Amino acid sequence: MDQSLLTNIQVVLVEPQHPGNIGAVARAMKNMGLSRLVLVNPPENFRGQEAVRMALNGADILEKAQTFSSLEAAIAPMGLVIGTSCRPGKERFPVYTPREIVPRVLATARTNRVALVFGPERSGLCNEHLDLCHLLVRIPSSEAFPSLNLAQAVMVLCYELYAACAQESIPPASCMVPADTVQVEQMYADLQDFLLQIGFLDPQNPQRIMRALRRLFGRAGLTSREVSILRGIIRQVRWYSERGHQTATRSRDLGTERLPPVETTAEDAKG
């Protein structure tokens, strides 16, 4: 059984409210072989007596937990960010089950870091948090009472990952390493600015379309090179639209002006 991939998977709790729940999450992770816990704006006493009591043998995970003031900072180095939600909506599809998402998580974990993101106990992840996630997962449960306790939800996802490792049903590593979250967010910022400029997005509600684009690119699993190419296309089209089609065509025909080169990285140069 190869559990080494689990070291590249982090459980991220956004604004957890109860130290006991944080401790219970640490215990669930310990049960299933995960060790990296990240907390966004936790309560001050998250390592207190109640948390330690609930963590039991997972107290070491609690002790080593990293803390951040924002989800953006917590997931900055991640190549894949999985958000969890029990509230399906028209802007949140497609949504995967834990078993469906496991192959993608483990394949990515061979070469990059993965975050499993869980929201506050009362409200779950809000749309702004989900916007930062590449893919969404929902744990199937009874329609009469679909909401799971925080530690239960963490346990379900961790179990599916552990079981896949135990059964050695681990997909091969992809030759393409996904871009980290910082690169992807920079691309979304460029894209949103440009789409607002040309009137494609509603200035009063740009996220309605941007969330659909985030889902699209999230499913694609963009690499650093692909993100660079897309940002280059956005810059090029913006330059062309600002200068005007006729001016650009006339200048090109006369040989007096050329389109500015697209910035490339060392990886781009390799092709």
Q: Is residue 172 one of the residues assigned to a domain?
A: no
Q: What is the pLDDT of residues 223-242, one digit of tens each?
A: 888 888 998 998 888 888 77
> 65, 10 in Cβ contact below 8 A?
no
Instruction: State the pLDDT confidence band at 167, using cuts at 50, 70 and 90.
Output: confident
Same domain, 195 and 84: no
Tokens 């650093």 -> residue: 224
Task: Give the mean model confidence (pLDDT) for residues 189-213.
Answer: 90
Please report, rounded to a whole number, the percentage of residues in the chain having pLDDT higher than 90. Answer: 53
Chain-wide mean pLDDT for the chain? 85
Number of domains observed in the structure of the chain: 2
Q: According to the model, what pLDDT value does residue 269 have? A: 42
For 64-99, b/e burial (b = at least 16 CB within 10 A) is ebeebeebeebbeebbbbbbbbbeeeebbeebeebe
Same domain, 24 and 145: yes
Report pTM: 0.74
Choose among 70, 87, 157: nearest CA to 127. 87
- State which residues form the domain around 94: 4-166
Q: What is the pLDDT of residues 66-118, one digit of tens each?
A: 999 999 999 998 999 999 987 655 555 578 999 999 999 998 998 889 999 99
Last residue of a domain, one of 136, 166, 196: 166
Same domain, 120 and 9: yes
